[in-house]
Amino acid sequence: MLLCIPNVLTPAQVAVCRRQLDAAEWVDGKVTTGKQSATVKSNLQIPQHSPVAHELGEIILTALANSPTFISAALPLNIFPPLFNRYENGGHFGTHTDGSVMTVPGTTVRIRTDVSATLFLAEPEEYEGGELVIEDNFGAQEVKLAAGDMVLYPATSLHQVRPVTCGARLASFFWMQSMVRDDGQRTLLYDLDQSIQALALEVGLNHPQTIKLSGIYHNLIRRWADT
């Protein structure tokens, strides 16, 4: 499932991130990639252990915890600490697939990467190029969102960031281990949850059909979830 979630961060939160990122130290983005991806990657990143990365990451994680759409779509079990990248002067990231397991820096905690996320921190008109291109069952999907908006997509997907030919593209990126590892199952659960929410608005939470569908949803979670 490829899903765009608007307004994950408020304009005020985006402004805080931008001030911190504009003053931060940036390093070669190859420091967080594998051998294959390193050959097609040209960008800058905030060091993983940077206080800036930690502070801004906490802002993002708090926002995600308060996003019902994110929770419904990702069903997160563990979230890798958000990272931050910058593309400019032709910076790009060629076609690749994200690593299957990531180790949280400074720990022995490993996270299976079921869902990838990109949270945009620059407005589309601030830069040229830089589209995130994700290949799915319907072909290549181009994503270039407003600052504060986020896209979720299966970490198994082939994807790329097209060269930024003018300006600078700023974003946060990270991965989630979902309670439900199968993307098809997560998609069904998300669609069912959205239907339940719509039905509840129409007929009420205590309507017999709302209660029945909610029971089906939770029984599927019990069947498919790893906790």
The string of pLDDT tens digits covering residues 49-107 is 999 999 999 999 999 999 999 999 999 999 999 999 999 999 999 999 999 999 998 89
Structural domain of 159: 3-178
pTM of the model: 0.94
Q: Are residues 150 and 79 in the same domain?
A: yes
Q: Are residues 82 and 192 in the same domain?
A: no
pLDDT tens readout for residues 23-40: 999 999 877 665 666 678
Q: Are residues 147 and 203 in the same domain?
A: no
Q: Are residues 58 and 88 in the same domain?
A: yes
Instruction: Please name the residues in contact with 122: beta carbons below 8 A apart, sequence gap of 6 or more.
Output: 18, 147, 167, 168, 169, 170, 171
Residue 172 gets which letter from DSSP? E
Q: Are residues 73 and 39 in the same domain?
A: yes
107: amino acid identity, one letter: T
CATH of the domain at 193: 4.10.860.20
Overall number of domains in the chain? 2
Per-residue CA distances from 94 to 19, 36, 97, 131 (Å): 28, 10, 10, 12
Q: Are residues 115 and 197 in the same domain?
A: no
